Amino acid sequence: MQYTAVGRASPCTKWLAVASAYRLIRGSLVHDRDSLHQFLFEAFPVRGHIVHLDATWAALLEHRTYPEEIRDTLGEAVAASVLLASTVKFDGLLTLQLQGQGPMHLLLAQCTNTLNVRALARYREDPQTRDLTVLSGEGRLTVTVETDNQSQRYQGIVPLAGQRLADCLQGYFENSEQLPTRLWLYADEQGASGMLLQRLPAGNVDSSSRLAEIDDAWRRVQLLADTLKPAELRALSDREILHRLFNEDDVRLFEPTPVSFRCKCSRERVEGMLRSLGEGEVRSILTERPDVEVHCDFCNRAYTFDAVDVERIFKPGVGEGSGTVH
């Protein structure tokens, strides 16, 4: 279709302009999906990250059904694992693990340095509560960062000093002499989202008034972030979240990084797990059925091993030193 220049916009072109503006507005209302955004305050040393899990979250839940309280806690943990991974430089895997005697006796959320996540929770009964201390029964929350070849490993213990995961993680940053950090987490059936604010070292600041200024700014941005409703964290685009909270500040938003669900299970890892189980145990399964079938707890992928496979796995010198399925 061609238009003739008539000095002023024809009704048709006007409509097109309105339509494209409408798309633009609509586009900005759609929240960011399966991504991690980093942002930085230009005037003071505070940085932040916002993460959203959508298709990733759906893939994580595809083969599992959890009671609502456990599902949402798991979602918060996955969002937190991505946010924690974004604050450390590492080449491997970050694991957030909660183990206890409560209704939810295990929660595991893992994020690689390339932002591939996987997670699971194990529970005995429907907990009817979101209080983390009750859910896990005074459990033990740990953050582990390890390199792929497991040559380097760092583990921190997180005190369960709060009803929600975000409160506990705040305690973790306070107690482990790390940079002051706050997290806001929210998850439901549709997705999981989280925001992190972190105060960075002030560098060579020798003026006490400048330090007081930074202290004030750090307090102020936390108070502002506290006003963000969970539904807003899920529904708004990251640009809108930053505008809604920090429109008086100069904030630089970086390009987003995609986050996705990917399980690192493999036949080799499962073979390693069978080896650690022991030859007698594995062979006893073969007396009852034609093959040994192992399902990955994270992705439900099935691995089957017949008698010939088992023979090979336990042949002396094969696969010694290989790890476990996780």
Task: Output the smallest distance, CB 306 to Zn ion, in A.
Answer: 21
Distant-in-sequence, close-in-space partners of 246: CB < 8 Å, separation ≥ 6: 41, 221, 224
Would you say 28 or 304 has its CB closer to Zn ion?
A: 304
Q: Using CB under 5 A, pick the residue from 70, 183, 299, 313 that binds Zn ion.
A: 299
Q: Which residues contact 283 (CB under 8 A, 6 or more apart)?
A: 310
Q: Please tell me the count of residues contacting Zn ion according to CB under 5 A.
A: 6
Report, in Å, the least distance between residue 261 CB and Zn ion: 10
In angstroms, give the least distance from the CB of 196 to Zn ion: 27
235/263 with CB nearer Zn ion: 263
Q: Rounded CA gap, 232 and 214, in Å?
A: 27
Here the tokens at position 109 are 């959320």
Nearest CA to 142 among 186, 172, 103? 172
Q: Binding of Zn ion at residue 217 (CB under 5 A)?
A: no
Query: Within 13 Å and on the Cβ side, how many CA atoms surround 96?
Result: 28
Q: Which of 246, 298, 303, 305 binds Zn ion (CB under 5 A)?
A: 298
Residue 60 in contact with Zn ion, rule: CB under 5 A: no
Interaction between residue 66 and Zn ion (CB under 5 A): no
Near Zn ion by CB under 5 A, which window of 39-47, 71-79, 154-162, 294-302? 294-302
Chain residues 190-209 in contact with Zn ion, contact rule CB under 5 A: none
Ranges of beta strands (E only) in the chain are 35-41, 46-53, 92-99, 104-112, 116-123, 140-147, 153-158, 181-187, 192-199, 251-253, 257-258, 260-261, 292-295, 302-305
Pick the stretch among 53-61, 157-165, 170-178, 262-270 that binds Zn ion (CB under 5 A): 262-270
Q: Which of 38-46, 156-164, 217-225, 299-307 is the region at the interface with Zn ion (rule: CB under 5 A)?
A: 299-307
**184: β partners:** 195
| Side chain identity at residue 93, one-letter code | L
- Cα–Cα distance, 68 to 74 (Å, whole number): 10
Which residue(s) pair with 302 in the sheet?
A: 295
Q: Residue 299 Cβ, how far from Zn ion at the closest point, in Å?
A: 3
- Residue closer to Zn ion by CB (options 126, 293) is 293
Of 236 and 296, nearer to Zn ion (C-beta) is 296
Instruction: Give the whole-angstrom CA distance, residue 62 versus residue 189.
Output: 11
Number of neighbours of residue 2 by Cβ within 10 angstroms: 3
305 is an interface residue for Zn ion by CB under 5 A:
no
Could you tell me the sign of the dihedral formed by the alpha carbons of 269, 273, 279, 281, in that order? negative
Q: Judged by CB, which is closer to Zn ion: 46, or 53?
A: 53
Interacting residue with Zn ion among 296, 310, 313, 325 (CB under 5 A): 296
Nearer to Zn ion, 102 or 272 (CB): 272
**152-181: contacts with Zn ion (CB under 5 A):** none
Should residue 265 be labelled a site residue for Zn ion when binding is judged by CB under 5 A? yes
CB of 308 to Zn ion, least distance (A): 24
- 303 touches Zn ion by CB under 5 A: no
- Taking alpha carbons only, the member of 163, 229, 231, 173 closest to residue 197 is 173
The reply to whether 117 sits near Zn ion by the rule CB under 5 A is: no
Q: Which of 263, 277, 282, 286 binds Zn ion (CB under 5 A)?
A: 263
Binding site for Zn ion (CB under 5 A): 263, 265, 296, 298-299, 301
